[in-house]
């Protein structure tokens, strides 16, 4: 018997009927005994079925791969759909926000449009007002131009008349100025003559005494100053009896000078007394001012002073007066040139205090006297100066270079004589007049005895040189006072350098500085005796250096 084959299904494929071919299919029907033929037919059918099964399996694999690909695409499409929904949701929210913002902008736009309409109406109103004002301005400008023209014509006529009157006044004033200029010049010449006459009447070598205050203030008992007489000073001392049989004895020493300044005298008060002497330097006279006294008596303070204006000494104040007076004389046609130098005498050796080079290359200096009897120093620094500050800067440099040392009398005692010199040359081209002079300001080293200063070694050598030069200064002063034929200027560098100030054509002033301490009584007495001898010295009348 023949069985019908079961249908075979592929995934996604149509059902295929499998079974033997029936009669009428075109294949010959075999006999029942032809088993071999039937087997052969069955084998053909089996091979046919196997081929078809293989083809169906291949189709099934293809369909499985297609199905997996489609499932992957479905997942991707679902993910894209999900993302698309989120994106469109966000975009929708953004659009809603923008719509709300645009709604607000629209309301603002409506508001601005309303304001614009109002402003346009106001602008139209203002433009109409402006046209009215412009028309009014044009009419007023026309009236103003007409008015100005009439006023200018009248003003011009009045100014022309005033100009003629002013020109007459200018001519008259020019003549007056010329006449007054002549009178002023004559008055200046007369002032100089009278000023120098006064100086001559006061004495060629004037001596001022200045008493330094005590450390705690006040005045020592052994120094007596008369309240009604500013030219007297008295030293009083009580001496005990050496035997004890006699009572104590009182000794007084009276001295008289051109002026005595007590401990309370200010720097300005001291300088006021010598300011006329400084003025003589601009008038063409040589002027010299020097300070003498024991160590610690206030010489350097008197000459140089302190840092503040109230405490400035004679040197900075003299420099200030010279430059200010020269500026005033410039209005009368005078032109001045100034040359400054600063030298010290240390152990009878000259040192340039304005030298700025190396110490090992410092040149040697010698005092020379020219054919015209002018004293000069070789290899010395001469600095052209044009302002007060330049001179004060040079003075500061000199103070830095000056030799100082400690002694028993003063912890920073000046161990040398310092000489500041300002050469002045003046020219009045309009008057064809020239003048030349020298302002010399000297701070002497401290004068004291060897025992009192307790100097040893190098300090002892310095003290010997200082006392020797000061002793020679006293000898020169005595020779001048006695009008001796030979004056020993060359005995020391100090007297040789000051020769022109002491015995030449110069107006000279000496400060004798006094220490008020009781243990300085002997030194004070020696200083006052020396100053009194100087005050009695007459060196002749100074003459003006004018051409």
Instruction: Pick out the residues of the known binding site.
Output: 293-300
The answer for residues whose C-beta is within 8 angstroms of residue 92's C-beta and 6 or more apart is none
DSSP 4: P
Degrees to nearest 5, angle at CA 340 with 339 and 344: 150
Written as six digits, the tokens of 507 are 């107006």
3-state secondary structure 370-381: CCCCCEEECCCC
Render 312-357 in DSSP notation, one character per residue.
B-HHHHHHHHHHHHHHHHHTTTEEEEEEEEEEEEETTEEEETT--S
486 by DSSP, 3-state: which?
coil
Going from the C-alpha of 438 to that of each of 199, 273, 286, 501, the distances in angstroms are: 17, 19, 5, 10
- Using DSSP, state whether 231 is helix, strand or coil: coil
DSSP state of 361: G
Task: List residues forming the annotated binding site for ATP.
Answer: 293-300
Query: Among candidates 389, 499, 378, 522, which has minimal Cα distance to 438?
Result: 499
Q: Rounded to 5 degrees, what angle do the CA atoms 208, 210, 216 make?
A: 175
Pairing of strands 205-211, 259-261: parallel
Angle at CA 285, nearest 5°, toward 282 and 291? 95
Collapsed DSSP state (helix, strand, coil) of residue 289: strand
- Tokens at residue 189, please? 């010449």
Q: For residue 223, count CB atoms less than 10 angstroms from its CB and return exposed for 0-12, middle for 13-18, buried for 19 or more.
A: buried
Q: How many of the other CB atoms lie within 10 Å of CB of 332?
A: 13
Rounded distance between C-alpha atoms, residue 261 and residue 234, angstroms: 13
């Amino acid at each position: 018997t023949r069985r019908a084959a079961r249908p075979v299904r592929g995934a996604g494929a149509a059902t295929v009927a499998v079974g033997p071919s029936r009669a009428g299919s075109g294949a010959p029907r075999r006999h029942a005994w032809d088993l071999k033929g039937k087997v052969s037919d069955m084998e053909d059918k089996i091979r046919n079925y196997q081929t078809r099964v293989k083809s169906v399996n291949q189709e099934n694999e293809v369909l499985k791969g297609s199905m997996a690909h489609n499932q992957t695409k479905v997942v991707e499409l679902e993910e894209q759909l999900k993302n698309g929904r989120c994106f469109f949701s966000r975009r929708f929210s953004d659009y809603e926000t923008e719509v709300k913002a645009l709604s607000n902008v629209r309301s603002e736009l409506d508001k601005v449009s309303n304001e614009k309409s109002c402003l346009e109406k106001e602008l139209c109103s203002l433009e109409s007002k402006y046209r009215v004002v412009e028309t009014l301005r044009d009419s007023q400008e026309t009236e103003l131009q007409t008015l100005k023209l009439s006023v200018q014509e009248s003003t011009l006529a009045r100014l022309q008349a005033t100009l003629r009157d002013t020109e007459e006044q200018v001519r008259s004033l020019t003549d007056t100025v010329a006449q007054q200029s002549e009178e002023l010049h004559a008055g200046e010449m007369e002032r100089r003559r009278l000023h120098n006459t006064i100086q001559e009447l006061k004495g060629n070598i004037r001596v001022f005494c200045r008493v330094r205050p005590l450390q705690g203030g006040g005045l020592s008992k052994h120094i007596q100053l008369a309240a009604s007489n500013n030219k007297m000073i008295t030293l009083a001392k009580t001496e005990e009896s050496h035997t004890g049989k006699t009572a104590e004895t009182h000794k007084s020493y009276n001295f008289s000078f051109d002026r005595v300044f007590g401990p309370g005298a200010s720097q300005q008060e001291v300088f006021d007394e010598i300011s006329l002497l400084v003025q003589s330097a601009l008038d063409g006279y040589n002027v010299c001012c020097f300070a003498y006294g024991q160590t610690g008596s206030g010489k350097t303070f008197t000459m140089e002073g302190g840092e503040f204006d109230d405490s400035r000494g004679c040197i900075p104040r003299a420099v200030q007066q010279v430059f200010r007076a020269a500026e005033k004389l410039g209005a009368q046609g005078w032109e001045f040139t100034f040359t400054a130098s600063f030298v010290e005498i240390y152990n009878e050796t000259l040192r340039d205090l304005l030298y700025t080079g190396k110490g090992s290359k410092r040149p040697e200096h010698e005092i020379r006297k020219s054919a015209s009897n002018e004293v000069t120093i070789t290899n010395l620094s001469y600095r052209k100066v044009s302002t007060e500050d330049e001179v004060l800067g040079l003075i500061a440099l000199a103070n830095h270079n000056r030799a100082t040392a400690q002694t028993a009398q003063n912890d920073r005692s000046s161990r040398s004589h310092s000489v500041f010199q300002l050469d002045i040359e003046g020219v009045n081209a309009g008057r064809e007049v020239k003048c030349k002079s020298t302002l010399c300001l000297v701070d002497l080293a401290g004068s004291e005895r060897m025992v009192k200063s307790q100097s040893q070694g190098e300090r002892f050598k310095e003290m010997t040189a200082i006392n020797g030069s000061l002793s020679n200064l006293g000898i020169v002063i005595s020779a001048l006072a006695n009008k001796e034929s030979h004056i020993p200027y060359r005995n020391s560098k100090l007297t040789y350098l000051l020769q022109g100030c002491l015995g030449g054509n110069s107006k000279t002033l000496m400060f004798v500085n006094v220490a008020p301490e009781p243990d300085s009584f002997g030194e004070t007495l020696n200083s006052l005796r020396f100053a009194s001898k100087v005050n009695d010295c007459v060196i002749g009348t100074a003459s003006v250096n004018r051409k």
